[in-house]
Amino acid sequence: MPELPEVELAARTFRHRAEGRRLRSVEILDARLIRGGTEDAFRGSLEGRRVDAVTRFGKHLVVSLGEGERWWLHLGMTGKLAWRAPTDESPRFTRLIFRFDESAMHFVDPRLLGATAAGEEAALRALAGIDRLGPDALDVREGATLRRLVGRSRSPIKTALMDQKRLAGLGNIQACEALFRGGVDPWTPANALSEDTYESLAAGIVATLHHTLEAEGEREITYLNESKGAPNPFLVYGREAEACPNCSAPLLREKQAGRGTFFCARCQNVNGRD
């Protein structure tokens, strides 16, 4: 589930619920999420410590616990942080529970592709690969900046946008949405796009990130107590065969580097490949 907007919302909720509070206990239901050390070491690094700050880098969360101690979390593809009252039952697929005095944070992750670790800052950043991340996608607003970051790659622009070493935060959905908003063919090599195209693509990235933040922030509040799923907030993602919101042509889906790419052939000027 999580790309930059979801992780940003997770960070805000985390701050709201836990900043300034002490982590009382850690329950490990499935140790496969824990990296870089034993279960006991992980628990030992966290229990009794106070949450000073929660920071997001791309899709990564880093929690400052004081005295140089840090806690890293990555939600992978299916991870979620669910906050509940202390006595509430865990949601299905809860793998770890972090208990505070007035609430409990459940790390829910059906596919176990998420990860977490705790330890001294430098070691943790190396383990998590945070030093290898490109700039955060929310901070890249200029076409020229975007071009400098991804424009030397010969990969298709969609692949380049999702490369966290170039630009941190975009995943499959946000890349599809940004390319649609910018009117860009996802298969064009990144180094073959014009300056003007980078300008509209940068605008597309900013627009989709803010749109998703607002839509899902709203969802979180509105649907907090409802079991119903919210409507699809995206323009093209998950809308194969629906009408393009811009030109009404049927939207298409094709596999690209193993991931589904949703697009409008007309608005994004996609010609036959293969």
Measured from the CB atom, the residue of 37 and 110 that comes closer to DNA is: 110
> Helices (H), strands (E): how many in the chain?
7, 10
Q: Which part of the chain contacts DNA (CB under 7 A), choosing from 16-24, 46-54, 61-69, 72-80?
A: 72-80
Evaluate whether 163 touches 153 at the Cβ level (below 8 Å): yes
Closest to DNA by CB, 49 vs 166, is 166
Q: Does 58 bind DNA (CB under 7 A)?
A: yes
Phi, psi of 16 (to 5 degrees): -60, -40
Site for DNA contains 151 (CB under 7 A):
no
Residue in 3, 8, 177, 185 binding DNA, rule: CB under 7 A: 3
The C-alpha atoms of residue 60 and residue 68 are separated, in whole angstroms, by 18
* Cα Rg of the chain, angstroms: 20
| 257, amino acid identity | A
* 5/213 Cα distance (integer angstroms): 5
**Residues β-bridged to residue 57:** 60
Tokens of 84: 């509940």
Q: Residues 59, 70, 106, 147: which binds DNA (CB under 7 A)?
A: 59
From the list 13-21, 138-146, 150-158, 201-209, the region that binds DNA by CB under 7 A is 150-158
Site size toward DNA (CB under 7 A) is: 36
Build a one-symbol-per-residue string for 174-213: x at contacts with DNA by CB under 7 A, - elsewhere: ----------------------------------------
Question: Which of these is catalytic: 49, 59, 70, 158?
Answer: 59
Which residues are part of the catalytic machinery?
2-3, 59, 259
